[in-house]
Structure 1
Amino acid sequence: MPQHDHRHIQLLEELSLNAWPALQTVVYDGWLLRFAGGMSRRANSVQVLYPSSRPLDEKIDFCETHYERAGLPTAFKLTEAAPAGLDERLAQRGYRREGEISVQTLSLKGRSFEPSELATVLEQPESAWIDEFCRLNHERAAFAGILARTLELIAVQAAFVALARNGRVEAVGIAVVEREYVGLFGLAVDERVRRQGLGTALVETCLSFGQLQGAQYAYLQVMASNVPALSLYQRFGFKETYRYWYRLKG
């Protein structure tokens, strides 16, 4: 895998942190320990973003203590910009690697996108929208309260999108705009109505919102093994910028 601009990786990581806040964060020597009651790995893991000075083992011990106290497994979210030797040290300590994620970007310059006629775009997520988001993203209903609190903490411009036909929500997604970027999160289409153009309409609606807010670029995160989603995003012109993965204890 080619080396990418670490400053660009840091920018996109910062944007995604702001787009999907944790309920609690501990800042420790350049690392961010994020906690959100166990909902979503990204909001319940250590984000290794900035230079640090403490020894690796000392820092890993610190993280393990805090996640054990919270009743959560210790997980690290890593990119190629992580400190040298960290991934290897975690492996030596028994952390398994999982969740290969492709971070993809797209220039919106010179292009125009239109929202779908099926779309409802909310400035704030309503309880019914949250229920549909959980259903279509296969999140446990018990996490609905945590999701609501998480979305309330988004401090930048966001839109909560639903596509419905005949009164039934069939696709949902979130678009978050910051620093000329629109991030697409939680995109999901009902399995019973896939391959009917709803995914395309959902992405285009989110990109349209981003453009209205001044976004010049778009980014998203997708499982590297999710071939249908990768194919959809490729048709829009999204290209991989870098990958991240998790190291999970045990």
Structure 2
Amino acid sequence: MLSPSSDLSQVRRLEELAFAGWPALETRDVAGWRLRFSGGYTKRANSINALERKAQTDLKTVEGLESAYRELGQLPAWRLSPLAPAAIAEVLAARGYRAIERSLVQVCPLRAFTPAPEVRIHAQPTESWIEAFSAHSPVRPEHRAAMRRMLAAIAAPVGFAFVEEAGQPMAMAIGAVNGDHMGLFDVLVMPQARRRGLARKVTESLYAWAWDHGARFAYLQVVATNAAAMPLYEAQGFRTVYDYEYIVPPT
């Protein structure tokens, strides 16, 4: 779905920003599609993504794209944004594929947000940040090496926001600046620290940090069923530009 106020050029730019903000360990561009591989860590970094409406959708191409994942022991996941040709949905539906998740891509104009003093922003993830992220994201043990490599691959400037109390993690998030946009990723508030406004504090501290690094807009990708996060993002000025779905084969 594309909002009435947006166009495909805006979608294309946001897609490229998000690819860079959450980098896969390997990418291949084939027949108008971008294949992303990261050892199975996150759907976003292990999915088939359209680069243009003219991407090929014939059965031979589809099977060839999927074979790259099957050879690695992974089920192929198609991430269908408004850039995907309409025919691909029909091809996948005919093969019994199903949608498993819908997400919204939202954008807001930044302003001079006020950072919270308890939020620390590091240029690289500390070991405490890594441990908290691995435990609360959560990251499976077999994916932690890939996770570390992906975080290290995010192009600077990148900010790893963290709130700790008495040595215990409370909240965290990632901000990645690319030109005049900042991508917001993985906002986490630990169970014992919820309902204290920490999600607002870590996100707005990252907006302030990003503003100082030249960003004038922020974007994020949020699961459409995440009712807890939507009111905060709406209050901060985020509006949906488009959505996308993950489509996977039957198991």
Residue equivalent to 2:183: 183
Residue equivalent to 1:14: 16
> Aligned AA for 1:185?
F
Structure 2, unaligned runs of 5 or more:
none
Is 184-193 or 121-130 further displaced after alignment? 121-130
Shift of residue 54 of structure 1?
4.1
Residue equivalent to 2:249: 249
Residue equivalent to 1:220: 220
Residue equivalent to 1:196: 196
CA distance in 1, matches of 2:55, 2:244: 23
Does residue 162 of structure 1 match 2:162?
yes
Is 46-55 or 13-22 further displaced after alignment? 46-55
Does residue 96 of structure 1 match 2:74?
no
Residue equivalent to 2:78: 76
Secondary structure in 2 aligned to 1:228?
coil
Residue equivalent to 1:48: 50
1:20-169 alignment, distance < 5 Å = 20-52=22-54, 54-108=56-110, 111-169=111-169
Q: How many residues align?
A: 248
Residue equivalent to 2:236: 236
> Aligned AA for 2:127?
S
CA distance in 2, matches of 1:210, 1:223: 23
The question of whether the paired residues in 1 share the 8 Å contact of 2:55 and 2:85 is answered with no
In percent, how many aligned pairs have the same letter?
Answer: 34
Secondary structure in 2 aligned to 1:94?
coil
State the TM-score, normalized to the length of structure 2.
0.94
The question of whether the paired residues in 2 share the 8 Å contact of 1:130 and 1:144 is answered with no
Structure 1 residue ranges (4+ consecutive) displaced by more than 3 angstroms after TM superposition = 1-4, 51-55
> Aligned AA for 1:21?
P
CA distance in 1, matches of 2:166, 2:34: 44
The Cα offsets for residues 89-124 of structure 1, whole Å up to 9 and x where unpaired, read as: 11111211121101111011xx21122211121111
> Aligned AA for 1:95?
Y
> Aligned AA for 1:68?
R
* Closer/same/farther in 2, CA of residues 28 and 164 from structure 1, 3 Å limit: same
CA distance in 2, matches of 1:106, 1:175: 14
Shift of residue 209 of structure 1?
1.3
CA distance in 2, matches of 1:26, 1:176: 23
The Cα offsets for residues 122-167 of structure 1, whole Å up to 9 and x where unpaired, read as: 1112333111112221222332211100111112421111111222
State the TM-score, normalized to the length of structure 1.
0.94
Secondary structure in 1 aligned to 2:142?
helix
CA distance in 2, matches of 1:210, 1:98: 33
